[in-house]
Structure 1
Amino acid sequence: MVYRRIVVCCDGTENDSIGTDNPLTNVARLARSLDTQIDDLGYIQVIHYQTGIATGTSNITNMYDAALGRGLHTDVKRAYNFICTNWSSRKDEIYLVGFSRGAYTVRCLAAFIDVIGLLTPYGLTHLNWLYNRWLDGTITPEELRNSFSEGSLALQHLDNIYCLRDVTKIKACVVWDTVSALGLPDSLSWLRPSRDKLAMVDNSVPGIVDNVFHALALNERRSLFKPNIWSDSSKSRQSPLNIKQCWFLGAHSDIGGGYEDIGLANISLIWMVAQLKTYTHIKISYYALQQLLLPQDISSSKGAERGSLSITGFKSSAPTLSAHGSSHIANYDP
């Protein structure tokens, strides 16, 4: 039997690696570096990439979405739908990857799965109802402790009609500079209902998550980009949490990527790959990664053949991460 590593990648606000020629973020580069061949453990990696909030067709609409974070709920449900339609075995693994508000999207997604579990494909008919009950506080971990609460009875009914599956773990949350602020000052907080409805998504890592790798921007001073740092205080945790949060030199998009100068973004990307290599079985195509670590205007085959750019920690003769590189990168751990 072939098992699946389901990898959901949610990009940051206005970041779109599909419909534009803008520089790639680390989310897009990691997504494009993942190997899709069946590995020795019998796993195949299934990858879903979502563009960030405010990547529509209208400039005015994009500005509105960027300011208010409109589309966040849709992004959470779209990612959840992908996982539900691809998850087929309790041995399947789930990885959530995000940058900026995309990182907040996967944080919300992890919290939702922690409470609800996974619906079957035919059970997705009930997704909107469940999601709204989760938003309004009808279905929470506290409510589910009461077996006669509305939320408990609803989930029991869905389980009885084979619409619900109990997922055991999310293997890893891989995030760059998580930001939940919706781009407006507190004086205009009445304009941001989407954020307020997600007040129950706090800084605790959901109990269902095994690993958290979080790269943070040390030099970001804008109040609207204040990072959300995770804490290990979940009451539902049944197994130890491996959490790595590390500050990197640079501002928000220096760390998460999206600037023409990718030097600082490369550092946090290599650190993230090292965490995945050390603590998970996710498979990276190191040849693809090497190409994506090059400045994008010279990452053609001609540029790569010149060998004009040296990537610390990678062997120039083979597309694999060297042992020396792994040791060197690990020194960035907090």
Structure 2
Amino acid sequence: MVYYQPGIGTYAPPGLLTTVGLKIAEKADEAVAWYLYQHVIDGYKFLMQTYQAGDSISIFGFSRGAFTARALAGMIHSVGLLPSHNVEQIPFAYEVYKRAKDTNNVKPPSKDAVAPKHDTNNTASSFTALSPPESDNGNGNIEDVTELDEASEFKKTFSLNVDVDFVGVWDTVASVGSFWPRTLPWIDYNPSIRTFRQALALDEHRGSFIPSVWDHRWTVPEKQDVREVWFRGEHSDIGGGAPPESNEEGETPYGTSMLSNIPLRWMIRQIFECQTGILLDPEAVQDLREADILEKPPQDSEKNGGWDWVRRVEESIKLDQNDVERRLYDSFGFNPVWHALEYFPVAKPCKNKNFEPRMTRVPNARAGRSIYRTSANDPIFLHSSVLAYLNSKNHYKPRAKWHGYGNADWPRIEDVLANQIDAIKQGTFPLQDKTKLEIERDEDAVGG
């Protein structure tokens, strides 16, 4: 069963029937996330009314929709899922969730206690990916962080205790509301999410789009499978929305080839790798294959008894090599609002290298993002399509800066071809000009 919500900036509240009234409501929602609660509780209500014991819950979103998706998962973790007959409790449940304490209120456990136990080599490929975490038979949440507040009492008294099996998001913003940023508990880390995947933008540089990355210090690797991958592109190049690349005559010579195709293909593979049970529409898949957005199966796949997973990744990488050539979308454009916000002291959430949350009013001034690593085993990856592009183009240098890396340490690589794995494991980072990745070296960093 599928539920879709348009998202923040698109909500049409009942009672506003005029075009002007609806437009004002949409802009208010976009500027200050006026109806954030409505977006979250609408999704929550759908789950209340449709969930049956044993169901698998998967949630997806992009940008502020990704924030809403993670907020919905956060509400499920914090106050549980109310029974379908208890609709009147939803507004109160949301208020309880909004006041809940999360990992930002307590110190994390030691790194040794939470460091992932999987392969520590600087590589990960789709065909050598982690196995999904073992099921606990649905008898409770992944609960290593105790909430000593009213949320836990509400959950015990009124709600079902359920997990969220899969959350797949594209470039989550750290808060919603362009002028009045708002955030919620259990966004950066959520003990009730079993599998988390996020595609992130290396080249976004707007202060209003600071990303919300997973707090890897809290991950319970025996029960949670987490991966964040950085791709070439700005915000709309990752989750979609950027127009096709055009020439001076306004023509689109590259057709459907776009940067956003790369993280889309990656996310779809994650859905299958993680055994979510999600079934895709065969006709839609065929249309995407014909448009070279999804990889086509090799012609002899039927003869050989199916589509070998390694070959699927290789076919996908071939499409990546074409799509990664597309031009970055200019997120600023001629919009004076975005330009002004970069130099205006608007409050925005951020984190330092120790992942401590804070609010800042320091203007962003179009600075690139910072990628922080707190442990050498943090599942933070650079996508292989970025490496290929860096090696073939002299002019490109990602805007993001990498922090927490030692003198001989490099980011881990996602979607690596089989013939590259041995070289990477031996410490050979496959980048010809290593100055193109801006890495802040630290002799005391976790990587050595």
- What does 1:128-277 align with in structure 2 at a 5 Å threshold? 128-137=91-100, 150-158=150-158, 164-167=159-162, 169-184=163-178, 191-192=180-181, 195=182, 198=184, 200-204=185-189, 206-234=190-218, 237=220, 239-261=222-244, 263-277=258-272
Task: Report the alpha carbon displacement of residue 78 of structure 1 after superposing the two structures with TM.
Answer: 0.6
- Aligned residue number for residue 27 of structure 2: 63
CA distance in 2 between counterparts of 1:311 and 1:102 reads 22
Q: Secondary structure at the match of 1:165?
A: coil
Residue 276 of structure 2 is aligned to residue 285 of structure 1: no
CA distance in 1 between counterparts of 2:294 and 2:284 reads 16
- Aligned residue number for residue 70 of structure 2: 107
Q: Secondary structure at the match of 1:245?
A: strand
* CA displacement, residues 41-71 of structure 1 (integer Å, 9 cap, x when unaligned): xxxxx00000021124532322221111222
TM-score relative to the length of structure 2 = 0.51
Aligned CA distance change for structure 1 residues 238 and 113 (closer, same or farther; 3 Å): farther
Aligned CA distance change for structure 1 residues 233 and 122 (closer, same or farther; 3 Å): farther
CA distance in 2 between counterparts of 1:138 and 1:217 reads 29
CA distance in 1 between counterparts of 2:200 and 2:221 reads 27
Task: Report the alpha carbon displacement of residue 322 of structure 1 after superposing the two structures with TM.
Answer: 6.3
CA distance in 2 between counterparts of 1:275 and 1:134 reads 30
8 Å CA contact retained: 2:204, 2:234? yes
8 Å CA contact retained: 1:99, 1:178? yes
Task: Report the alpha carbon displacement of residue 244 of structure 1 after superposing the two structures with TM.
Answer: 1.6
8 Å CA contact retained: 2:59, 2:168? yes
- Aligned residue number for residue 22 of structure 1: none
8 Å CA contact retained: 1:312, 1:325? no
Task: Report the alpha carbon displacement of residue 227 of structure 1 after superposing the two structures with TM.
Answer: 1.2
Task: Report the alpha carbon displacement of residue 214 of structure 1 after superposing the two structures with TM.
Answer: 0.5
Unaligned segments of structure 2, at least 5 residues:
13-18, 107-144, 245-255, 318-382, 385-412, 415-448
CA distance in 2 between counterparts of 1:244 and 1:264 reads 20
CA distance in 2 between counterparts of 1:246 and 1:238 reads 18
Aligned CA distance change for structure 1 residues 174 and 321 (closer, same or farther; 3 Å): farther
CA RMSD in angstroms comes to 3.2
- Aligned residue number for residue 4 of structure 2: 49
- Aligned residue number for residue 331 of structure 2: none
Aligned CA distance change for structure 1 residues 229 and 156 (closer, same or farther; 3 Å): closer
Task: Report the alpha carbon displacement of residue 83 of structure 1 after superposing the two structures with TM.
Answer: 0.9
Q: Secondary structure at the match of 1:174?
A: strand
Aligned CA distance change for structure 1 residues 76 and 227 (closer, same or farther; 3 Å): same
Tell me which structure has the larger Cα radius of gyration. Answer: 2
CA distance in 2 between counterparts of 1:201 and 1:312 reads 33
Q: Secondary structure at the match of 1:212?
A: strand
Q: Which amino acid aligns with 1:289?
A: V
Q: Secondary structure at the match of 1:102?
A: helix
Q: Which amino acid aligns with 1:80?
A: Y
CA distance in 2 between counterparts of 1:260 and 1:75 reads 26
Q: Which amino acid aligns with 1:177?
A: D
Aligned CA distance change for structure 1 residues 246 and 329 (closer, same or farther; 3 Å): farther
* CA displacement, residues 67-112 of structure 1 (integer Å, 9 cap, x when unaligned): 11222111111101111111111x2100010000010011111111
- Aligned residue number for residue 16 of structure 2: none
Equivalent pairs: percent with the same residue?
29
Q: Which amino acid aligns with 2:284?
A: A
